[in-house]
Amino acid sequence: MPTSFASLPPSEDGSEHARVAQTNVIGCFQLMNAMPTRVTAYHMCFPNTNTSRMFAGLALFLGIGSASDRTRLKFHIGSLTEIKYKLHGYGIPIELIPVTETGRIKIKQLKEWIRLRGILDKQQQQQVVDVCGGDSGDCQQGERERDEAVRVVGERTVTVTVTPTTTDNANESSGESITSWPQQMATTTTSIVDCPGCKDVLFRSGRITMIHLGNSMFRSMCEAIFERYTCETRIGKKSIVNELIDAVESIGGRFLVWDKNGNSCWRKIGASEIRSKVGTFIRNSMSSSSNTRNKQQLMTRESDNTNNDSNNQQQQQHVVIQLKSSTYAFVKQNELKRRWCAVNVDDNSSSNNNNSERFMDW
């Protein structure tokens, strides 16, 4: 476990401090390896201050972490809105970050999760007591089997499985044996799921279910059978629904609904409820797809009309330019002709006046 330097006595030399530092580094690596989540990147967010910029620069200069960690280390400096936009660019769902716009940390979901884990732990303990039959001696004797039996499976569905174990009696000749656990295997599975998997299909209104990976996968599966679903009869539609359910369950997926009783958790549902909700999901997906298709067609039609109007205006302008250019030479000729006629008229009038004056003089 990591050790604090403050716990060392003042008489310890530098070698002891180096050993403690090495122990802390090893402990951190062990902690990272023991985490159930694979760490793909480190995003460190800081406010837009000089101290934050200095810390980020020193961290990069000193080379915090291993070489592989430094390649996945990213610093974000700015306001809360700017940082959210940057994180969203990396595909991080910013709506799941428990921070308000004012910087206040939201702890409601954390409290609900702690309360839920307390309920699940109590259920596990009660199930173990029921399996042991209230005999503490038998429970102590089968402690190792119980520790392996009582567990939370990878999908975080609470499952308690107890296998019978027997111990031979001292009088082996009589063939008697003492059973430390019940003869039949007791298996109890609760329907509470605190963390849905990426292959699960969630039934709940809101954006969280829209961006869930399992719902996106199931929506794609539904879109592939839209045409066949609309042409089928009622019995055929039921068979299509069963095919979709089998396809999801074959890859390890489950159908979960949000518990509205205030438990703040997901729970599994029965087969009849699954078929009903899957049918509703298909119809809603078809309606949404139809609305999206109509909007796209409307936008395409409007863009085509706009392009046609612009093309018509350009053609009209082109025709006007052609008309002007085709008659321009004739207009110029007419203007020159009128000017030439006017000049001749003026010359003739002036010559006539001169002749009349000459006649008078004569």
Predicted pLDDT of residue 230: 86
- DSSP states along 219-276: HHHHHTTHHHHHHS-HHHHHHHHHHHHHHHHHTT--EEEE-TTTT-SEEE--HHHHHH
Predicted pLDDT of residue 144: 53
For residue 345, the tally of other CB atoms under 10 A from its CB is 10
Q: Tell me if 211 is assigned to some domain.
A: yes
Residues 7 and 28: their CA atoms lie apart, in Å, by: 18
21 with 102, same domain: the answer is: yes
Predicted pLDDT of residue 19: 75
In the chain, the number of structural domains is 3
Predicted pLDDT of residue 168: 43
Q: Tell me if 348 is assigned to some domain.
A: no
158 with 236, same domain: the answer is: no
Predicted pLDDT of residue 212: 87
34 with 52, same domain: the answer is: yes
66 with 153, same domain: the answer is: no
Assess contact for 124 and 150: CB atoms under 8 A: yes
Q: Tell me if 333 is assigned to some domain.
A: no
Fill in the DSSP letter of residue 195. S
116 with 77, same domain: the answer is: no
Which residue in the block uniquely carries the two structure tokens 């829209």?
A: 210
| The model's pTM | 0.52
99 with 113, same domain: the answer is: no
Predicted pLDDT of residue 151: 47
73 with 15, same domain: the answer is: yes
Task: Please identify, among 233, 266, 293, the residue that sits at the C-terminal boundary of a domain.
Answer: 293
SS3 167: strand
Alpha helices (runs of H) in the chain, residue ranges in sequence order: 14-34, 50-62, 67-71, 80-89, 108-132, 136-141, 143-149, 207-211, 213-223, 226-231, 234-250, 271-361
Task: Please identify, among 62, 82, 106, the residue that sits at the C-terminal boundary of a domain.
Answer: 106
For the chain, 362 residues long, the average pLDDT of each consecutive 10-residue run is: 46 63 76 77 87 79 66 86 90 84 85 84 80 57 51 42 41 41 40 84 84 89 88 90 93 89 81 91 83 73 71 64 50 54 53 48 41
72 with 133, same domain: the answer is: no
Predicted pLDDT of residue 334: 55
**C-alpha closest to that of 218 among 166, 187, 181, 255:** 255
141 with 96, same domain: the answer is: no
21 with 99, same domain: the answer is: yes
Q: Tell me if 329 is assigned to some domain.
A: no
- The amino acid sitting at 161 is T
Q: Tell me if 300 is assigned to some domain.
A: no
> Can you give the residue range of the structural domain that contains 62?
5-106
